[in-house]
Amino acid sequence: MVIQRVKRALIGQPIASDRLSHETIPKWKALAVLSSDALSSVAYATEEILIPLSLFSVAAMAWSLPIALFVGVLLFIITISYRQTIDSYPGGGGSYTVSKENLGTTCGLISGAALMIDYILTVAVSISAGVENIAAAFPFLFEHKVFMGVILIGTVMVLNLRGIRESSSIFALPTYFFIGSFLLLIVSGFIQMALGHASRSIPEIAHQELTVIPAFLILKAFSSGCSALTGVEAISNGIPMFRKPSPLNAKITMVWMSAILGVFFISITVLAQAYQVRPMEGQTIISGLSASILGSNTILFYLVQISVAMILILAANTSFADFPRLAHLLAKDGFLPRQFAYLGDRLVFSNGIIGLSGIAALLVIMFKGSTHLLIPLYAVGVFLSFTLSQSGMVVHHYKTKRHWFLPALVNALGAITTATVLIVIGMSKFTSGAWAVMLLIPGFIFLFLRIHQYYDWIRHKLYPGGYYPPEQVSARSFPAVVPISGVHPGVVDALNYALSISSNVSACYVNLDQNETERIKRNWNLWAKSVHLEILDSPYRSIITPLIDYIEKVKKDNNAEMISVIVPEFVVPRWYQNFLHNQTFMFLRTMLRLKKGIVVVNVRYHLVENK
């Protein structure tokens, strides 16, 4: 019970299912939740362009502005494309749904794998970048980067477990603080440029002619700069989070996000050239600009650094909003464990949030909290999902046959552009770590397919057909209750056993999904209509509590000294397959052992693999 009290203190009391519509958020909060990843890339995208250029020569850094402008053109194309995705798929789902429905299951799984990797890396990269910016202002913290990163991931996880409406209120203030501080930095920088006060700490390069440098180096800098586009798709994935009209509000928010991102990114690149700021050990581009424009060790300098650190940390929240939804869709389709499909106490997909946190924390530890080591792994999955989503939209427009040509042309342009960028990123960053993502995606797909194959096998074993309702046998003095999670041969065996020891037998099922409940009722009438089935409501989506309440009610109504609880349980042939099931009845048995006058009996149904 101590664990339960700690849980409630951290994430709050459960929220009833009928409050789901009240958990949607307005545009200004959605901008904070779903755009923080994209906006945060302003803090490191210019730096990622400058790193390879500066290593070649100081003069080569003049290429940073043309590269940034081309990235801005890409942003414009992708924004228009995803606005069309919002119109066509107002229920959300993003690249996975679009690819699966229009290009087939395989393409959907490729997109799903790429997105999952992207979301995991977003948390690791953004948290690491946030810690590095804090350490830039307070250098003594550099040796504690990994510990700080893990703690921050845990903090963001807890805040997200509290629910979308509450977490969005917490995250809104830092996001707008970041926007305000960057406006201050950019406006002040341009004013000082106009007055001729720009710093010239190294030989001037901004106004030189573009130096001839290897094309491969330009492509590498460009592919690094494309990290500015990560997170752009998040709004199209999270449409159900918006208040009605959800699609319209999502499209407006997407324009806001793209405009802020484009202006900030290009402005920072211009200022970095004008003030001759380049990447240095222990200093980020933003900290260098802040020192040059606002003065080092001033209050404004520290405010900018704090705002950058906060938005980089909050960038992880975009993944915490979208990763659990993607895991939910994959789990509903049978490609991930079913535990990811269900809402938790606070109407968020808790298992997805916890799983994302664990994997991201492991990455931070493995890569020692280094943003530069993590970013090469980053953009491959993003642009693969971009390409598949836009290609799927072309097929979607063609299938609908209504005013399809111009929208299809826009999405085709987006697909060609992002596919080109994907090839460039794959080639330029292959040896830097992109090869790992190219191996991980097939690995994820293999895992998805194996899980789906397993669930198909379970379904075949549990519902082969040809079974008949059990016959009632001699009465017993004590009532018996059979809690069920479905209708299958294992349940029939449990009912047969219950009827053999009692004439007062009832079954119960907890209603978590109305469509699934109706299917259970239909199957029950075919298999076991002679036994009463009680449907239990659960407004807080708890399974154990309604079952225990019902069992105690039956015991009290029958004035029975004892009651038998017959628990059907299927046994899988391999121990590790148990992790793909909820194990709900194991927890039920544990709780019932604490109750007086309740006899718990397991009726096992063994599943045998085909030889």
Q: Give one DSSP letter per residue of 404-464, joined into a string.
A: -HHHHHHHHHHHHHHHHHHHHHHHHTIIIIIHHHHHHHHHHHHHHHHHHHHHHHHHHHH--
Q: What SS3 string covers 470-495? A: CCCCCCCCCCEEEECCCCCHHHHHHH
Q: Which is higher by pLDDT, 229 or 548?
A: 548
167-196 pLDDT per residue, tens: 788 888 888 999 999 999 999 999 988 887
Per DSSP bridges, beta strands 563-571 and 480-483 are parallel
Residues 6+ apart with CB under 8 A from 400: 88
- Structure token pair of residue 166: 């509450």
CA distances from 226 to 75, 81, 121 (A): 9, 17, 15
Give the pLDDT band of residue 376 (cuts 50, 70, 90). low
Instruction: Provide the CATH topology of domain 480-606.
Output: Rossmann fold (3.40.50)
- Structure token pair of residue 33: 């939740």
Give the pLDDT band of residue 2 (cuts 50, 70, 90). low
Q: What are phi and psi of 236, to 5 degrees?
A: -70, -25
**Residue 213: predicted pLDDT:** 64
131-179 pLDDT per residue, tens: 876 776 677 777 788 888 899 899 889 888 888 777 788 888 888 999 9
**Within 13 Å and on the Cβ side, how many CA atoms surround 251?**
14
The candidate with the shortest Cα–Cα distance to 63, out of 221, 265, 193, is: 221
Determine contact, residues 452/105, Cβ cutoff 8 Å.
Answer: no
Distance CA 595, CA 246 (A): 47
**Within 13 Å and on the Cβ side, how many CA atoms surround 436?**
13
**Residue 130: predicted pLDDT:** 75
- The percent of residues above 90 in pLDDT, for the chain, comes to 24
381-429 pLDDT per residue, tens: 778 888 998 899 899 888 877 777 888 888 888 888 888 888 887 777 6
pLDDT at 442 over 60: yes
Give the pLDDT band of residue 62 (cuts 50, 70, 90). confident
Q: DSSP E strands: which ranges in 64-148?
A: none
Distance CA 281, CA 140 (A): 14
Give the pLDDT band of residue 206 (cuts 50, 70, 90). very low
Instruction: Provide the CATH topology of domain 2-453.
Output: Amino acid/polyamine transporter I (1.20.1740)
Q: Angle at CA 412, nearest 5°, toward 411 and 414?
A: 60
Distance CA 150, CA 127 (A): 9
Comma-separated ranges of CATH 1.20.1740.10 domains in the chain: 2-453
Sheet holding 532-537, edge to edge: 532-537, 505-511, 480-483, 563-571, 598-606
**Residue 208: predicted pLDDT:** 46
**Within 13 Å and on the Cβ side, how many CA atoms surround 427?**
14
Distance CA 286, CA 277 (A): 9
CA distances from 488 to 20, 190, 526, 575, 605 (A): 32, 71, 11, 21, 10
How many CB atoms are located within 10 Å of the residue 592 CB? 21
- Structure token pair of residue 305: 């650094």
Distance CA 391, CA 67 (A): 25
Distance CA 254, CA 34 (A): 9
Average pLDDT over all residues of the chain: 83
pTM recorded for the entire structure: 0.78
Determine contact, residues 232/75, Cβ cutoff 8 Å.
Answer: yes
The candidate with the shortest Cα–Cα distance to 41, out of 375, 322, 418, is: 375
